[in-house]
Amino acid sequence: AYTYLNLYGYAVDAVVCNRVFPQHLADEYFKQWKQSQQENLQFVEEAFQPLPIFKIPFFDQELVGETMLRRTADVVFGEDKTRGGVGDPTRSYYSGLPQQIYTQNGHYVLSIPLPMAERDQVDLHRSVVDELIVRIGNWKRNIALPTGLARLEIAGAKYEDDRLNILFDREDNDEDPQPQDLQPNRWETLKARLRGAAG
């Protein structure tokens, strides 16, 4: 389960960002908007790795009607990769398991893929109560913790089989978290983060 949609059994194989300002835009009026958007796009890339991210440019018309929908489809799925097209829209663009939560030896385990990482380069810390930050050199990923894990202490972490497994202590005196409390709340966290950046 990678985003809010996965709570209902929908597989997510890509992320689409709409109304992306072009890099060559130099108008002073859009300077602050462009900077804010770049910060948000960076957060989206960090939060949703390793899913592919398709970017739709800020068109000169609203996305209304068949003509504009076809134009958008040509940008995202057209075969010309110089325009950002990625090809066949009917194929799946990601089929892995970006995030797993399970129990093992008395701990809850949050497992995320980190292929080809060097064990001694992995840095893990908590930024706020319900968010973890994983760093590998200049690479960073924000992980929104589900409610059931956010209240638990981190017991340790292991890097094995190209995955980072983060262990959380189970609470001895309280009831175990309910299944819904162990589901990722990434979508709500992302919306809150973007609202804050826009304010």
Domains of the chain by start residue, with CATH: 4-83 (no CATH), 100-183 (2.60.40.790)
Dig out the tokens for 78 from the structure: 């057209």
Q: Provide the pLDDT for residue 124.
A: 86
Q: Provide the pLDDT for residue 18.
A: 93
Taking the C-alpha atoms of residue 187 and residue 12, their distance in angstroms, rounded to an integer, is 12
What are the beta bridge partners of residue 25? none
Taking the C-alpha atoms of residue 135 and residue 154, their distance in angstroms, rounded to an integer, is 16
Cα separations in angstroms, 107 against 101, 162, 163? 10, 20, 17
Cβ-Cβ contacts under 8 Å for 62 (sequence gap 6 or more): 68
Q: Could you read off the pLDDT tens digit of each residue along the chain, which spans 199 residues?
A: 343 344 344 567 888 899 999 888 888 888 899 999 999 998 888 777 778 899 999 999 999 999 999 999 988 888 766 666 778 888 888 887 667 888 898 899 988 877 666 777 788 888 777 888 888 777 777 788 888 888 888 898 888 887 889 999 987 545 555 544 455 444 444 444 444 444 4
Q: Provide the pLDDT for residue 24.
A: 83
Q: Provide the pLDDT for residue 197.
A: 45
Q: Provide the pLDDT for residue 50.
A: 77
Q: Provide the pLDDT for residue 78.
A: 84
Q: What is the CA radius of gyration of the chain?
A: 19
Cβ-Cβ contacts under 8 Å for 191 (sequence gap 6 or more): none
